[in-house]
Amino acid sequence: MKHHVTVGVDGSPESLSAARWGAREAALREVPLRLVHAVDWPMSPAIPGLGREGADRWADEALTEALDDVRRRHPGLEVSTRCLAGRPAAALAAEAVDAGLLVLGSRGVGGLVGFLIGSVSMSTLAATETPVALVRAAGEAEETGPTPYGEIVLGVDIHEAADRVLAFAFEEAARRGCALRAVHGWRMPSMYQYAPFFDPDDEREVGRSVTQMLDDMLLPWRHKFPSVRVTHQAFVGSAGPQLVQAASGADLVVVGRHLRRSPLGSHLGPVAHAVLHHATAPVAVIAHD
């Protein structure tokens, strides 16, 4: 059975953008699309002061708006809707168990033009092992035909064997027929901070070694996906800001996060945190060991 794409819908412009992005992704994957709304009653209704009947009506309207929109844009796509009872993060995570991808909308942050990662998104990320894509609301032109896909930017840590992250990025690039750019940020070993003098040749040598390690990490995936055009870059500096800068103009950014179980909540890591809050493109977060 093919995995469907699930989209969390709450009636906001962000969730409508997520539904449109998810519909395009489902059509690309040739799988069904499922639109889901979670009604958390009586803990936190969608609008303060809204009664149960009003909350249900709000859910129906949110789902109907998204359903009508994606059916108009993708008339051949199989689309279904579900209204769930329960706290949104837990309901979305449970719904995503048999999905190939969960798509959520996130609010842009002023001049930073990044994401405002709310408690629902953060809690959902922590609760699911399904890949999660976060999509910002943006002005969108009416779709009049197939639109070429742009570049995918992949954040890579050469010190980790994150096969799930690499697989997702290469599979996505192969589906889209687009280029993939792998990015790794690095720093000089800490011992150089205490050296009496600094030799630029040492930094160049470490840079060549890091670039070779990055190339070696990508090599088996190049062989597995020969149609994907791959470039790679190793930057000197903090990986988060470098990846955000590299992702400017990209169609999708792919980052990983460690699977960690903790009562204190999600552990995104500094790189994923920076990208989620400051990247302009949709961001796919892939859980890995």
Helix residue ranges per DSSP H, 108-199: 119-127, 163-176
Give the domain-ending residue among 107, 136, 165. 136
The whole-number pLDDT of residue 115 equals 39
The whole-number pLDDT of residue 46 equals 46
Statement to judge: residues 83 and 20 lie in one domain = yes
Statement to judge: residues 110 and 224 lie in one domain = no
- DSSP letter for 281, please: S
The whole-number pLDDT of residue 11 equals 85
List C-alpha distances in Å: 89 to 41, 180, 244, 266, 281. 14, 31, 26, 12, 23
The CATH number that applies at residue 277 is 3.40.50.12370
Please report, as a single letter, which amino acid is at residue 272.
A
The span from the first CA to the last CA of the chain, in angstroms, equals 25
The CATH number that applies at residue 44 is 3.40.50.620
Task: Say if strands 33-39 and 230-236 run parallel, antiparallel, or are unpaired.
Answer: unpaired
Question: Does residue 215 belong to any structural domain of this protein?
Answer: yes
Statement to judge: residues 129 and 184 lie in one domain = no
Question: Does residue 26 belong to any structural domain of this protein?
Answer: yes
Statement to judge: residues 125 and 214 lie in one domain = no
Question: Does residue 147 belong to any structural domain of this protein?
Answer: no
Give the domain-ending residue among 88, 107, 136. 136
What is the reported pTM?
0.84
Statement to judge: residues 130 and 228 lie in one domain = no
Average pLDDT per block of 10 residues along the chain, 289 residues long: 84 90 96 88 48 67 93 96 85 91 73 47 82 79 64 90 93 96 78 54 76 93 97 84 83 87 59 79 89
Statement to judge: residues 124 and 220 lie in one domain = no
Statement to judge: residues 184 and 270 lie in one domain = yes
Question: Does residue 14 belong to any structural domain of this protein?
Answer: yes
Statement to judge: residues 157 and 282 lie in one domain = yes
The whole-number pLDDT of residue 275 equals 84
Name the token pair of 150. 């742009």
Question: Does residue 251 belong to any structural domain of this protein?
Answer: yes
| Cα–Cα dist 102/117, whole Å | 15
Domain assignment of residue 40, given as a range: 4-136
The whole-number pLDDT of residue 141 equals 46
Total domains in the chain come to 2
